[in-house]
Amino acid sequence: MKNKRFFWIIIFCFILITLTACVRSYDSPSTVVTAISAGDLHTVALKNDGTVLAWGYNGYGQLGDGTMTDRYTTVPVSFLLSDVIAISAGGYRTVVLKNDGTVWAWGYNLLGELGDGTNTNRDTPVQVNDLTGITAISAGELHTVALKNDGTFWAWGNNYYGQLGDGTNTNRNTPVQVNGLTGITAISAGVFNTVALKNDRTVLAWGLNSSGQLGDGTTTDSYTPVPVSGLTEVIAISAGESYAVALKNDGTVWAWGSNGYGQLGDGTKFDRYSPVPVSGLTDVIAISAGESHAVALKNDGTVWAWGKNYYGQLGDGTTIESYTPVRVSGLTDVIAISAGESHTVALKNDRTVWAWGRNYYGQLGDGTTTDSYTPVKVK
């Protein structure tokens, strides 16, 4: 009897130790997500151990796992990639910044978007040529931009509309410097336009301007930076497909450019060639412009969205576009947001990741390919 009791005590202790180890493994610092980024049809997340996770469409290798297989739940980017401190998911590719100031990229590269001197797609990370001392990155649809620690601005990839800002419309498969641009503190690459925030809190833009997305009061394209009209005290910027949004230090949000889906949030569908305020939105601390929808994070941890909603990317439980901000359903305690082509991602303060919108390629990361009109947890 004593031997039998002793046997069950040993089994119980073994189970307890195993469960404790599992909990510790699950809660270990290496599992903590610190940043998120939504691309066209894929999503990436940065962990605090400097490694990267990805999921969704992988037709050009943009998940960086050495395959071109779509993933409906998270997979780690190549084990060779480490020490990452910033991530940016663009159109069918991913770009990351390492703590040594170098930039790495993978995925689609037909127009030189990876900056490695070739036009070859990559399913694992390659280093961007001759680029060091970088402090910020942004991947647009077909071009990429980077900010150096000396305040200079570099760009590569598609340049058909002058979105690289080098005064030409020549594509570049290695980085080129945007001439005469200094004192930049933040950058954002859109589809065919680029936006930069200066240290005096004014904004510059360049590239395609067919819908007024440069915000200079005209519809004239510009191959070099032009100032966005009447916009001051800006602390954050984000460029969408043919529009841009800016956050001012008073917590208000301003937008300009294309407005066919109400993505400017001013209650209309009229394009705006200079900035207009997003209606009724205050106390905002972060913004993100997707293809034709935008999202904002308020200081109370709630998320608000407006614009196109075909796939439920506004997260309000409907597929009805909204010309003014609506609250994302049931989502609180959020600390970071990112809007992709037709889906949106949020990071909560418990370090869980939530997503909503289009999911045809698994970009919501919930293990399905079912669109969701409200947030679902990434597995």
CA 98 to CA 150: how far, in whole Å?
17
Comparing 110-119, 171-180, 243-252, 294-303, the range with the smallest average pLDDT is 171-180
What would the mean pLDDT of 172-193 be, rounded to a whole number?
Answer: 94
> Model confidence over 190-233: pLDDT tens digits?
999 999 999 999 999 999 999 999 999 999 999 999 999 999 99
CA atoms within 13 Å, Cβ hemisphere of 303: 31
The confidence score (pLDDT) of residue 279 equals 98
What would the mean pLDDT of 226-252 be, rounded to a whole number?
Answer: 98
| pLDDT of 31 above 60 | yes
The confidence score (pLDDT) of residue 211 equals 98
- Identity of the residue numbered 74: T
Whole-number average pLDDT of the chain:
93
The confidence score (pLDDT) of residue 13 equals 46
| pLDDT of 347 above 60 | yes
The confidence score (pLDDT) of residue 28 equals 43
Q: Which residues, listed in sequence order, are joined to residue 284 by a DSSP beta bridge?
A: 298
CA distances (Å), 59 to each of 29, 153, 238, in order? 32, 30, 26
CA 268 to CA 277: how far, in whole Å?
12
| pLDDT of 27 above 70 | no
- Pair 301, 327: CB distance under 8 Å: no
The confidence score (pLDDT) of residue 26 equals 38
- Third-level CATH fold of 82-355: Methylamine Dehydrogenase; Chain H (2.130.10)
Q: Please state the domain extents for the chain.
A: 1-31, 82-355
What would the mean pLDDT of 340-350 be, rounded to a whole number?
Answer: 98
> Model confidence over 321-339: pLDDT tens digits?
999 999 999 999 999 999 9
What would the mean pLDDT of 348-373 be, rounded to a whole number?
Answer: 98
Tokens 């689609």, residue?
A: 108
* Percentage with pLDDT > 70 across the chain: 92
> Model confidence over 111-159: pLDDT tens digits?
999 999 999 999 999 999 999 999 999 999 999 999 999 889 999 999 9
Q: And the tokens for 233?
A: 């005290």
Q: Which of 252, 295, 251, 255 is nearest to 275 (CA)?
A: 255
Q: How far apart are the first and last CA of the chain?
A: 46
Please state whether beta strands 33-38 and 42-47 pair in parallel, antiparallel, or not at all (unpaired). Answer: antiparallel
The confidence score (pLDDT) of residue 180 equals 82
